[in-house]
Chain A
Amino acid sequence: MPAARHARLLPLAAALVLGLSYGAIAAPAAKNSCATCHARLTRSASALPSLQFREDVHRDLGFTCADCHGGDPTSDDQSQAMSPARGYRGVPTGAEVIARCAKCHSDAAFMHRFAPRQRVDQASEYASSVHGKRLATGDTQVATCASCHGAHGIRLVHDAKSPVFPTNVAATCGSCHSNPEHMKGYTLDSGAPLPTNQQAEYETSVHHEAMVTRNDLSAPTCNDCHGNHGAAPPGVGTVAAVCGTCHAVFAVRFDASVHKQVFDRGCAECHGNHAVKAASDRMLGTDQAALCGTCHSEGDNGFKAAIQMRAAIDKLKQGLDQAALLIARVKNAGIETSDQELQLGEAANRLTQARTEVHTFNPAPVDGVVKDGLGIVSRVEATGHSAEAELRFRRQGLAASLVAILLVVVALGLKIRQIDRRAGVSAPPAADKGGPAARA
């Protein structure tokens, strides 16, 4: 490019740089004296909010302290900036928290600008919750928005550091519900003190294990059963419905069963509530480890049904184990068994179905499914036995062919000796003996 052309472009470049610089100067960040002053405070309780707010989702979206607390953030004079005359509302407590959050979060048109798919009924749900109802009666100890979401370092719910991220929910609820001091005075409907061991129990449950060990975020935590904004304990008769949101087939079977009318605590009667353990076949039956004997006694129909259902399930399990061993054995011996493995998978599905049918507490449907499963197992076993027969045939055939080959080799060896002798083939000269091939 010629130098003259460079010279012509220089003014244009200079104008562009100046223009950009002017733009940067002309649009400074809005003044926020709240953050400036609070960050300088030596008392951590006063300084912390401004530090925490740096990571707050609201700040990222352009909100400032004044949007919740009011006041005049453009003034450096504290008496002006925090003057009620300029709208300063101070630190909200109790119902004020709900009102301030709801100002935006219950306004569909407003929320649409930032999070169009977010619900706007949290405040009304909260009002229907145990927390909301108690707050309305003047109990300021109960949880409000900030108790769970935080006040100044609020993160999106799907942020793993958020206190309401699934893996953190139990600890967040536990921060109040596991604190005996905090929960003092709260009682159950029966009048008994409200327990504070829910979190500890939950942490021993199969649900917690699924979430923490297997990193399954769909596993339930407190809010999945109790709700979040509309938090309430599932009442009598609603437990099965709550469990049924995930364990749908079990809930349908249970709803149609005789126990639906009898079990006050629904599923929790056998499985517990917070400390739900992995279900096992040992729970079914009448021996010491089983649960049925807790209510039923020898001779009654439930006792008989428990024995019958457990026997059916054990029979299918045993059949499956034996068939699986047989198929593994022939597979190791080189027989192709992928069809049989598929069928065994199908029989294992029947076992799962039978365990589901147990929740009807009626032996007939359990027996029906077990019969299907045993049919599959017996077909697989028949194929396995044929495979074993085939293996025996192969080995016998091999032995016969090896004998035949050996006979031919011996005959050939004799023939070779005979013709060698006739032809006078001699051994190599003695001098050549002993030299390995590598020496050649």
Chain B
Amino acid sequence: MLQRVVDWLDERLDLDDVRHFVGEKSVPVHVHKLWYYLGGVTLFLLGVQLATGILLLLYYRPSAEQAYESVQFIVTTVQFGWLVRNIHAWSANLLIATAFAHLFSVFLLKAYRKPRELTWVTGVVLLFLMLAFGFSGYLLPWNELSFFATKVGTSIAGALPLVGGFMLRLLRGGDDVTGATLSRFYGMHVAILPAVTTLFVGIHLLLVQRQGMSVPPSIERKLKPGDELPQMKFFPNYVLRDVVLWYVALALLAALAAFYPWELGQKADPFAPVPAGIRPEWYFLAMFQVLKLLPSHIFGIEGELVGVIGFSLAGLVLLLVPFLDRQTARGEPGRIFTVLAAIALVFMVAFTVYGYIAALQAGAAP
């Protein structure tokens, strides 16, 4: 039956090129090949987000009056609504974790060097898009924690020089976080970000397929002239390994959803005092903690402004790494950027842990 369908399609579309590409495509086998799978599992989790997100859309109502109640309805009354919502929430967090891990592995394996500069750039843009998904999705249940965290988060954008005020009103749809902000975040979360993400995922995958997997320079340097790395066929050998990892991720998601359901908390009350220990999601916590610790003024400039500019520059440097790392481009070991990546990793982990401890001490549950 399947063969008849393929033949039917082949007759009309001439699938020879595709068949040839799939048949010939291979993946280099070496000691670091395990890191290749992080991209695949991130893509799988993105798919989970898409599927569960669509299901949630069927019941979610994006207004300050009804958002919280609709999520409550989803987790209490809708058949398997609790499962869908918990998987969506857990998968979002795992997705960002695997995206970060993918980024650091690509960074440390120097896979961004020529000719894969654009793959890197699209990957970093995708990470930023995932963070934007996280930020916008966090507000949608309209609970106390997300409401005040969004207030803090958007006020950070408001600290930007020149465009700060405009950015603040653009994000909030007014001077304060209200139902208008919720509508904007909803539109961003379910329409704008998915459209842009689809485009960038498409380009990213196309580039990965077109250019194949990068072999780390450390492996390349050890090869003797004329030696070739062993190869694994992409289909089915590599794809099946990918699928195994996807199943493991699925099992992990199901277990987390059943044993550690995502809390809904209290409905947001704009007139209530700010609860103690307010904090954003873990992936923004390091940034949040640094901004909190900065003095009010640094060399006469507002501390928060210095922090926001610093993080914006760090983001820009991350985006342009392939063009800045000249050592790696020349084929030399790029130790400076390796050290920078290690420092960034230690910095993020340390300040995230610090942020959690500070929030706990201030009286908030982690």
Contacts and interface: CB of A to CB of B under 8 A. Distances in A.
B45 to A, nearest CB: 16
B251 A401 contact: yes
B29 A425 contact: yes
Contact of A440 (B76, B217, B236, B264): B217
Interface in B129-165: none
B218 interface: yes
Given A405-B247, A409-B247, A435 B218 contact: yes
A89 to B, nearest CB: 57
Interface stretch (B56-64, B119-127, B252-260, B312-320): B252-260
A330 to B, nearest CB: 11
Contact of B218 (A416, A428, A440): A440
B121 to A, nearest CB: 20
Interface of B is mostly: helix
B240 A431 contact: no
B189 interface: no
Interface in A83-97: none
B240 A432 contact: no
B230 A336 contact: no
B32 A336 contact: no
Contact of A425 (B35, B230, B338): B230
B108 to A, nearest CB: 5
B248 interface: yes
Interface residues of B, number: 46
B254 A415 contact: no
B268 interface: no
A415 B264 contact: no
A419 B237 contact: yes
B75 to A, nearest CB: 5
Interface string A327-349: 00000011110110000000000
Contacts of B248: 405, 409
A432 B31 contact: yes
B237 A420 contact: yes
Nearest to A438: B108
Contact of A416 (B75, B216, B222, B241): B241
Interface in B243-280: 243-244, 247-248, 250-251, 254-255, 258-261, 263-264
Contacts of A408: 247
Nearest to B110: A440
A426 B108 contact: no
Which 10 pairs from chain A and chain B are nearest by CB?
A334-B261, A440-B216, A440-B218, A336-B76, A398-B258, A432-B31, A428-B30, A405-B251, A426-B230, A440-B109
